[in-house]
Amino acid sequence: MASGTSLLSAIWAIISLLLMCPLASTSTSSVLIGRTCNANPPSSTQIAAGLRPFLSEHAVVVLPGDKEEWVRLTARSSGPKISPGYLAIVEVAAEEDVQNVIHYANLKGLPFLAVSTGHAWAPAMNDLQNGIQISMRKLQSVEVDHSGNTATVGGGATQNTTLKALAKVGKRTVHGLCECTSVIGPALGGGHSMLQGQYGFSADNIVSARLILANSTAITVSPTSHPELFWGLRGAGHNFGIITSFQTKVYNVPSGPNGLWTLTILTFSPSTLERFFQTWNDLETTYPDPKGLLVLDAMFNRNPLVDSTNDPMITLIIAHEGSNPIADDYISAFQALNPTFSTQESSIAWELIHDKMGLGDPPVCQLNWNLYGVTSPSLHEWNVTNMRENWDFYENFTKEHGFLRGSFYLLESYGRGKAMDLGMLEVNAVAREERETHILPALMMIWEGGEKVEQEVAGKVADMARALMKEGVVGAPHHTYVNYAKGDGSESLEEMYGRDAQRLSRLRALKRKWDPENRFGFNAPLIY
């Protein structure tokens, strides 16, 4: 291993001399970051020529002239509103590819961004121009380890790939709901899940990770290897590097009826809104759901498949595993509100429940729809009066601005139980506030096209929506789930990462140590 590292350093030293650039050491003590070797960035073809000799056999460099592949790899759910500017894209196929791309980018003073599926919406990503995309899409491996208690997952593996691979051997892990996103991306900020009430957040289940640092060094991060960084990685991990693979806990899928899910979908007219949210509050007060077997997702949306008039409606999705008397009481209570539409399907296998919920379909997994989450601070309970105000606002702006009619309010309440275990605060960096507030409201804005006028209108609507939702938070200081935050200064670090001064100080110290030049700074960085 030492000889390989020495050889790599020697090769890069020669390249540095040829490029007349300062030498970048591969040790953690000397980091060359953000230094521009030339007044002008290299061309796309120069980047390709400089990188290709050092990439693995199956890695691919894609340039703007490769139109079909370029379009595929630059498409984002949040595009074209969020459109980082790349000179080249490298589809990495091995850990060493990530190291070599970062090393080259550092030598040439180029920004870089790791992308798995392109579903983040942080506006700061637009600040990346003349950079390199590190496409993680080829790193899709999922393998259960010999113990049967953990699995090693590739840094680009999607939720759907991971779920299906584990289900084939009777296993499952904690991951997000959307089938098209990566597993590791959401997990680094905590990671809400349909299983969080049983097993904790996604971050709680990470056992170790292979991390590529800003100076291109690869390290293992675990409870015994860089333990302080491991603490910060699980909750604020996007600040510190690129994960090429990670170990996560896996669990047996319950056998028989205990492992089958029931899905109930109800829709309501706006006249029931106050009773709807009061019922929700009352149920969550009565049933704290300690086992975390119940998931509620609601929306304000327009759905012509249910209502031919395409008028806005309230949609509620209730999903629960196995026989669950609490879920039965929830369903009965909402049925008593006389829904305008009702359907239920039972005996759904774990590997199919996300499909049945439409979590791999548009608008969740649609590309180039300008998907933009306008987030509210998380809540302990619904402010019924404020939700009526949000409804009126939604109805009005989707009527006035026809291009925004596909937008919807997303109103989430996942299982509590294990996710609310405050004993985990010393184990990782997921904020106390994230464990104590389980309701996540957000306006999901979607529209097609890149017209400047429409983007300006959408921006004004987003600002008004954000202000209105914040008015509904009573009592506690604001906390916003970091994965849903704008992450551009609109929220304070305390609002995203927690208000415990000692914990925030630890995170800032980690950022200064492991990414002092903020190379990983395009999504809620720990610097302001």
pLDDT tens digits, one per residue of 54-66:
999 999 999 999 9
Over range 466-478, report the average pLDDT. 90
| Tens-digit pLDDT profile for residues 401-438 | 999 999 999 999 988 999 999 999 999 999 999 999 99
Query: Beta partners for 144?
Result: 151
Over range 209-232, report the average pLDDT. 99
Quote the pLDDT of residue 37. 42
Q: CA-to-CA distance for 89 and 101, rounded, in angstroms? A: 10
Residue among 300, 287, 384, 390 at smallest CA distance from 331:
287
Side-chain-side CA neighbours of 24 within 13 Å: the count stands at 28
Find the range with the poorest average confidence among 115-129, 196-210, 286-300.
286-300
Per cent of the chain over pLDDT 70 is 91
**384: how many CB neighbours lie within 10 A of its CB?**
16
- The class that CATH gives domain 32-135 is alpha beta
Phi, psi (degrees; rounded to nearest 5) at 244 = -95, -25
Q: CA-to-CA distance for 208 and 221, rounded, in angstroms? A: 6
Which residues, other chains included, contact 415 with Cβ-Cβ below 8 Å and sequence gap of 6+? 194, 195, 196, 197, 198, 289, 291, 292, 293, 294, 295
Check: CB of residue 182 under 8 Å from CB of residue 402.
no
Query: Beta partners for 90?
Result: 61, 134
Please tell me if the domain spanning 32-135 has the same topology as the one spanning 142-254+507-514.
no
* Domain-wise residue ranges, the chain: 32-135, 142-254+507-514, 257-489
502 burial (CB, 10 Å; 0-12 / 13-18 / 19+) is exposed
Check: CB of residue 372 under 8 Å from CB of residue 475.
no
Quote the pLDDT of residue 415. 86
Q: How many angstroms separate the Cα of 174 from the Cα of each of 2, 250, 409?
A: 37, 8, 25
Q: Is the dihedral of CA 406, 411, 415, 417 positive or negative?
A: positive
For domain 142-254+507-514, the question of CATH label 3.30.465.10 is answered with yes
Phi, psi (degrees; rounded to nearest 5) at 341 = -150, 145
Where do the DSSP E strands lie in 250-398? Answer: 251-252, 260-268, 294-302, 312-321, 341-349, 372-375
Quote the pLDDT of residue 186. 97
Q: CA-to-CA distance for 302 and 363, rounded, in angstroms? A: 12
Over range 104-125, report the average pLDDT. 96
**pLDDT of 104 higher than 60:** yes
Core vs surface per residue 51-74: b (16+ CB within 10 A) or e = beebbeeebbbbbeebeeebeebb
| Tens-digit pLDDT profile for residues 347-406 | 999 999 999 999 998 888 999 999 999 988 999 999 999 999 999 999 999 999 999 999
Predicted model pTM? 0.91
Side-chain-side CA neighbours of 463 within 13 Å: the count stands at 6
Query: Beta partners for 267?
Result: 315, 341
Quote the pLDDT of residue 334. 98
Q: CA-to-CA distance for 509 and 228, rounded, in angstroms? A: 10
CATH topology of domain 257-489: Vanillyl-alcohol Oxidase; Chain A, domain 3 (3.40.462)
